[in-house]
Amino acid sequence: MKNYDAVIIGAGPGGIFSAYELIKNKPELKIAVLEKGYPLNKRHCPIDGEKVKSCISCKVCSIMNGFGGAGAFSDGKYNITNEFGGNLHEYIGKKEAEDLMEYVDAINCEMGGADARLYASEDPAIFKECLQNDLHLLKAKVRHLGTDLNYIVLENLYALLKDQVDFYFETSAERVFKEDGKTVVETSTGELFAGDYCILSSGRSGSKWMESVCEGLGIPTQSSRIDIGVRVEVPFETFSHLTDKLYESKIVYRSKKYQDRIRTFCMNPHGVVVNENTNGIITVNGHSYEDPSMYTDNTNFALLVSSHFTEPFHESNQYGESIARLSNMLGGGVIVQRFGDLIRGQRSTEDRIQSGFVKPTLQATPGDLSLVIPKRQLDDIIEMIYALDKVCPSTASDDTLLYGVEVKFYNMEVEVDGSLETKSEGVYVIGDCSGVTHSLSHASASGVHAARSILQKLAL
């Protein structure tokens, strides 16, 4: 049994900022961080575009796991807002949530991100233009680190923490239980870690594991939503008047046919489309870089339809997984289709993709997304593409590329109090595995908040 003041499960943004805040304020604390992935410098995806062109389902996915979490190789966008990215403000208050996000932003700047531009999506002219076309632009400040600068920030955070915190990489937490007033974590190798406090920060990829932990500790949960959609790739110029001023355009549309809400997500000007592996399922995502030498000629973003389920259905993630698996079965991974082909009811072919004016940045299988995505969600996506075309002409071009599927898995919502502590005393649940946060900034802020709660208890 290894004894610690605090045991943190997961070295994603929530876990990192929990450890940072604890050590910064009480350096004598003994803290362990358990992470099933690798250290940052050993996180490498084997896909090189030449010898390995698609996901080979590694035992531990280096894109999703390891120091920095799934956000390590993302485009590094920290959105400072309560408008989207999670419901943290419902637990701790709007001002406190924004103050924590500003605090995280300041730390990121100290760790090497100061040169990254801070955008503000409050341009009155763009806001009005969107409203006139039934599109709603959400307001936020966005610090865009880029995948490259985000990596540097994480390197510096690790360098700061590694001599004060015990990191256990390639260490998968299997079971969490109570013993003699402490929280004990059993790993896949049979090691036992006991902590006076335990912070669970396993991210979205740990959603199934979290269900078993909550059941074992008697922590109440409730079903969450699932987002299903596509990754859209267009020429950079199509959205340049938005991205030059706002960078991240969070636009929400309510469909006329079903009254569903569809939103843009993770916009990457000059970016690339990438594979993502979640529990062995290949989905699609997007990255962008701060370094101009790594720019592409395209912009990509997701269009996502949120689905909320009611009784008796509780398996929202499994619903999303089944759609993604269907895509994997038909396309061997991600499917790509030209918008014009989709509208005409024909599958895309390699020739049609290559003859188009938008050159794909991800090697995906040409196919037919209408065989994969349910009709309701597909109708919503098509309707929003036409709505976006009014603000950004050429969005609905024949050659616009749609990659599918993009699925955002949300953990079930874990019952926590205003400190993000569960009814199991000393056990905190933070970040995306809590169902409370859905973004880098909110997850990081939740880690700071939980750490401050523990520091207050230690001061008593």
Q: Are 39 and 57 in contact (CB under 8 A)?
A: no
Rounded to whole angstroms, the Cα distance separating 425 from 48 reads: 46
**Cα 391 from Cα 386, distance rounded (Å):** 9
CB atoms within 10 A of CB 28: 7
243 with 365, same domain?
yes
Q: Is residue 123 situated within a structural domain?
A: no
Asked whether residue 63 is assigned to any structural domain, the reply reads yes
Q: What's residue 49's pLDDT?
A: 67
What 8-state DSSP symbol labels residue 369?
G
Question: Please, what is the angle between helix 94-108 and helix 440-459, to 10°?
Answer: 100
Tell me, yes or no, whether 383 and 427 share the same domain: no
Q: What is the largest CA-CA distance in the chain?
A: 69
Residues 96 and 186 in one domain: yes
Tokens of 93: 């208050």
CATH number reported for the structural domain that contains residue 79 in this entry? 3.50.50.60
Establish if 129 belongs to a structural domain. Answer: no
- Whether 389 and 258 map to the same domain: the answer is yes
SS3 at position 458: helix
The residues with which 338 forms a beta bridge, in sequence order, are 401
**Residue 267 falls within a domain, yes or no?**
yes
Of 312, 229, 292, give the one whose Cα is nearest residue 263: 229
Q: Is residue 131 part of a domain?
A: no
Tell me, yes or no, whether 405 and 419 share the same domain.
no
Which stretch of DSSP H or E encloses residue 99? helix 94-108
Consecutive H or E run containing 248: none
Each residue's pLDDT, cut to its tens digit, for the chain (460 residues) gives 999 999 999 999 999 999 999 999 999 999 999 999 999 999 988 876 677 867 777 888 888 899 999 888 877 889 999 988 899 999 999 999 999 999 999 999 999 999 998 888 778 899 999 999 999 999 888 898 988 899 999 999 999 999 999 999 999 999 999 999 999 999 998 999 999 999 999 987 777 789 899 999 999 988 767 899 999 999 999 999 999 888 778 899 999 999 999 999 889 999 999 988 877 788 999 988 878 899 999 999 999 998 877 666 667 778 888 999 999 999 888 999 999 999 999 999 999 999 999 999 999 999 999 999 999 999 999 999 999 999 999 999 999 999 999 988 777 889 999 999 999 999 999 998 998 998 999 999 999 999 999 999 999 7
309 domain residue, yes or no:
yes
pLDDT of res. 311: 66
Query: Exposed, middle or buried by CB within 10 Å (0-12, 13-18, 19+), for 443?
Result: buried
The residue type at 180: D
Q: How many domains does the chain have?
A: 2
Residues 65 and 93 in one domain: yes
Q: Dig out the tokens for 55 from the structure.
A: 């996901």
Q: How many helices (H) and strands (E) does the chain have?
A: 12, 22
**Are residues 193 and 256 located together in one domain of the fold?**
no
Which runs of consecutive H residues, i.e. helices, occur in 132-206? 146-161
Does 380 share its domain with 424?
no
CA distance 288 to 167: 29
DSSP single-letter state for residue 49? S
Look at residue 94 and tell me if it is in a domain: yes
This prediction's pTM: 0.80
Residues 423 and 387 in one domain: no
What is the rounded distance in angstroms from the CA atom of residue 89 to the CA atom of residue 442?
A: 9
List the Cα angle 459/111/12 in 5-degree steps. Answer: 70
CB 21 within 8 Å of CB 447? yes
Is the residue at 175 inside a domain? yes
Distance CA(295)–CA(270), nearest Å, equals: 5
Distance linking the first and last C-alpha atoms of the chain: 27
Does 171 share its domain with 25? yes
Q: Are 432 and 374 found together in one domain?
A: no
Q: Coil, helix or strand for 442?
A: helix
Which residues span the domain enclosing 338? 226-409
Strand ranges, E, within 289-355? 298-307, 335-338
**Separation between Cα atoms, residue 152 and residue 196, nearest integer Å:** 32
242 shares its domain with 386: yes
How far is Cα 65 from Cα 71, in angstroms, rounded to an integer? 9
- Residue 342 contacts residue 325 (beta carbons within 8 Å): no
Distance in angstroms (rounded) separating the CA atoms of residues 323 and 206? 19
